Structure 1
Amino acid sequence: MKIFLWGLLMATAVVLLTFYFIRENPLDTTSFLSLEEKEMVAWQRAWMQINPGLTEHLKSFKDMQRNSEPLKNVNTQILIGVPPMEKKLLTIGISSVQHPQGSYLLETLQSLFFASSLSEQKHFVVLVHLASPDPKWLGRMTSNISALFKPYIQARQLVVINTQGKSYLPLKNLKKKFNDTPASVAFRSKQNMDYAFLMNFAANHSDYFLVIEDDVKCVPGFVTQIASILSAWEKRFWMTLEFCPLGLTGKLFHTSDLPSFVRFLLLFYQGMPCDNLLSYFLNLSHQKTIQFSPSLFQHRGDYSLEGKFNSLKATEENNMGCPSNPAATLYTNLNVTSDSVLMNAYSLDKNYFYTREAKAGSYLTVFLHMPATVFHVQVLTGSELKEENRLEEGQVELGYDSTNRVIDCDDYVLLGMLVNGTLNKHVLSEDSGKQVKCVRLLVTGTPPSGLIVRHINLWVK
């Protein structure tokens, strides 16, 4: 009896300490979850520490990587389209089922293609998994997709698949967790398999895989922004890059890592929701999700996939306040005429800087009088009303100075590319603690007419 009470006391202590850690640690990888969701994850982690059976998961996981049995009987067929002949940079994967409150899938596909330029579309393929056994719904959705997105289908930019019901693992007599109803447990268990079959099909068609849910809006130019991040992180090791904090939306993988995660989803499909399983997978792999903001995707509906009201949406951070724009001097090789003031590009009023000509290689550098910890940068070009004189091809770089140069910096890193003449983003978390000395706007493609730089805004700590 004493041993039992001692074990119960230890279990309670572990759980309470874990809950305290999640509430108090702002750097926790689940910081974007609600308190209720954090407690679910905390309970799972704490229970693993006190239950010897669950601590065998890591061994089972490693053994599972050498076993293809979970995928042996999977039968996925193509309903619409043909995969691209050449390997793409990116596969964008969507898994969709029938929603009690209606479907946003068609609107999501429209947003995805409309938010991408023709040049961007050449570098990705969209893969949709219609994960429902209802033949009427499948027929209706395939008919609508075929009619609305015919050009993309013909260009091999859109493929629609379905996995037959016999491929799924059992969905009856599932173990209840987190006080969920049997229906909720069955739903999320099937959803884990839906994503597993989607990723399994996607593993060989591109270098990277981006998953989004079927009810999101896409930020214009999101493909270019992701490509610029991939370029900046090319020589760093990572397993998942996160471009949206909600669910699995906006999570980016190397396609070479997908087989491991697919088998992991199938092994633990009853355990917890797929986004929590991803965190669990990364923990076992001794990795963490690398987060970027602001979010490139936003949820459309007020209801979750199960038809429950969902007030959790990805929004821009509105609590940053006004830009700081600390004291600085501006330098440029652009032509500054007598009727234009270079400092207007950095002012916090409505004035702006205009130059009649800009060429590739031109720059405008903000040289801070004192190095500062810059955590957000905004660059706005072009006329605010007519959208003329924008810089369509340009990038923003952060400069650091270790040799005390007078008007420049000796080391620059890419922050991001301009999209539709604009950049608005946080500094990468890895570099946010470093003191920035320069912020440089670099012209990478000659604009057809003059250039307006409305604002270069900095937020500093």
Structure 2
Amino acid sequence: MRDFLWKLIIIATAVVLPIYYFIDENPFDTASFLSLKEKEMVAWQRARMQINPGRTNHMKTFKDMQKNSEPLENVNSHILLGASPTVKKLLTIGISSVQRPQGSYLLDTLQSLFFASSLSEQKYFTVLVHLADPDPNWLDQMISNISTLFQPYVQARQLVVINTPLKSYLPLKNLKKNFNDTPTHVTFRSKQNMDYAFLMNFATNYSDYFLMIEDDVKCAPGFVSQIATILSAWERKAWVTLEFSRLGFIGKLFHARDLPCFVRFLLLFYQEMPCDYLLSHFRDLLMQKKPIQFFPSLFQHMGNYSSFEGQLNSLTDKEFEGNNIGPPGNPAATIHTSLNVTNASVLMNAYSLDKNFFYIKEAKAGSHLTVVLDIPATVFRVQVLTGSELKEENQVKEGQVELGYDSTNRINDCDDYILLGLLVNGILDKQVLSEESGKKVKCVRLLVTAALPSGLIVRHINLWIK
């Protein structure tokens, strides 16, 4: 009995002392970002993490922090350029940037972002840039450059630039030294955590979703539509973050409603570890056990020098396809259709890689042409070309392309289809994002949604697979 009591005392001491130590060492001040209750709650969880770091998925009380869905009010972030959108958008794209000894990549990133999105896509997002360096000369220069180069986007309220004064930041002296980092690097990454937190705090009410990228990336063409397609497919699934790049904090997508909780989490543990490590713990606390990553990546790191002291950093994402993806490699397949076709060999012309094409005199609304792969595959790009190449006749004016998956072993069809995209001027050419552990594509279906009394030409259905 005496041994048991001693064990109980030791365990209680191991749990309780770290809590009081944590609160005592992190009192913030009267302008604290967190209530005492929230600090006690997460300090308790932190103590449990130190005792048994493998059981972070049992930290249920952390969810109470989600009840506070309001942005922080005592942060003095303010707009330097542009104006907040008047209508809530689908997406806010957030970028935080500081001065770099070797020169800034921010302007190139903004140019890539807007050039990679069509005019119709730009209606659905706002770009929010946090210039997080206190140097007034650098701020003035960056505001001048952005205003000159991106004036139409600023005037359209599609681009907003903000800054947060240093007085809003938590202490950056006498920080904890973790991961064998130098004191200078600990200060850098601790401030970076707050840079990101203040950016997200400002973005909370701008949109339904928030996408974090960095200030030195290249964006894949059509990335907004790709993300919208994934959001549609994941609308009824539970997730904390969706990842569209493997690197660092690039391409991480959040529900905007989760931002206040994550902001508080970043500020509470700002000096503990880098932001991408904190995101992993945050995701775990909210019961998402592993990253949900999609491939190919939509963003590529393009800078050669880090924002930390100009150190060389040529890291690239190997899953970023870019534009150099080679020719299509249509795998073995059969084609099935509801069109009135008598010659199956002619039908296969739609899927051939030569110059042959498929033509039929009439196509009714609801008609389909479906490619069924012999072996389901990971398809990362689909291209459907309809109509005469020279005269632009016999195009599918109104139609869509769908991807099919099969869990019941059907022979000539699939039991689950999702929309890939609509044809524009008779053409669809899109990347297909897939999870690392996701289902493989078995069917690609061209669906005609309005009658074509003058006939239909399908020049090519091209697939790229891994």
Query: Deviation at 1:289?
Result: 2.7
In structure 1, the gaps of 5 or more residues are 1-46
Cα displacement string for residues 181-208 of structure 1 (whole angstroms, at most 9, x for unaligned residues): 1111111111000000000000011111
Which residue number corresponds to residue 329 of structure 1? 335
CA distance in 1, matches of 2:423, 2:178: 46
Query: Deviation at 1:64?
Result: 5.9
Describe the shift of the 1:205–1:271 C-alpha distance in structure 2 as closer, same or farther (beyond 3 A): same
CA distance in 1, matches of 2:229, 2:103: 35
Give the 5 Å matches for 1:237-316.
237-287=238-288, 288-306=290-308, 307-315=310-318, 316=320
CA distance in 2, matches of 1:440, 1:69: 44
Q: Percent identity?
A: 58
Which residue number corresponds to residue 213 of structure 1? 214
Q: Say whether the 8 Å CA contact 1:189–1:273 is kept in structure 2.
A: yes
2:354 aligned with 1:350: yes
Q: Which structure is larger by alpha-carbon Rg, 1 or 2?
A: 2
Query: Deviation at 1:323?
Result: 4.0
Q: Say whether the 8 Å CA contact 2:131–2:161 is kept in structure 1.
A: yes
Describe the shift of the 1:65–1:208 C-alpha distance in structure 2 as closer, same or farther (beyond 3 A): closer
- Which residue of 379, 391, 416 corresponds with 1:376? 379
CA distance in 1, matches of 2:364, 2:296: 30
Describe the shift of the 1:141–1:450 C-alpha distance in structure 2 as closer, same or farther (beyond 3 A): farther
CA distance in 2, matches of 1:98, 1:431: 40
Give the 5 Å matches for 1:148-187.
148-187=149-188
Q: Say whether the 8 Å CA contact 1:225–1:417 is kept in structure 2.
A: no
Which residue number corresponds to residue 19 of structure 1? none
Cα displacement string for residues 84-115 of structure 1 (whole angstroms, at most 9, x for unaligned residues): 11111111111011112111111111111111
CA distance in 1, matches of 2:273, 2:206: 29
Describe the shift of the 1:236–1:334 C-alpha distance in structure 2 as closer, same or farther (beyond 3 A): farther
Describe the shift of the 1:391–1:268 C-alpha distance in structure 2 as closer, same or farther (beyond 3 A): farther
Describe the shift of the 1:214–1:149 C-alpha distance in structure 2 as closer, same or farther (beyond 3 A): same
Q: Secondary structure at the match of 1:365?
A: strand
CA distance in 1, matches of 2:287, 2:172: 31
CA distance in 2, matches of 1:276, 1:445: 50
In structure 2, the gaps of 5 or more residues are 1-45
Query: Deviation at 1:178?
Result: 1.5
2:366 aligned with 1:364: no
The one-letter code matched in structure 2 to 1:454 is: H
Residues matched between the structures, number: 405
Give the 5 Å matches for 1:44-59.
51-52=50-51
- Which residue of 389, 393, 401 corresponds with 1:395? 401
Describe the shift of the 1:153–1:264 C-alpha distance in structure 2 as closer, same or farther (beyond 3 A): same
Q: Say whether the 8 Å CA contact 1:94–1:129 is kept in structure 2.
A: yes
CA distance in 1, matches of 2:381, 2:71: 48
The one-letter code matched in structure 1 to 2:400 is: G
2:145 aligned with 1:138: no
TM normalised by structure 2 equals 0.75
Query: Deviation at 1:408?
Result: 3.6
What RMSD in Å do the two structures reach over aligned CA positions?
3.9
Q: Say whether the 8 Å CA contact 2:77–2:198 is kept in structure 1.
A: yes
TM normalised by structure 1 equals 0.76
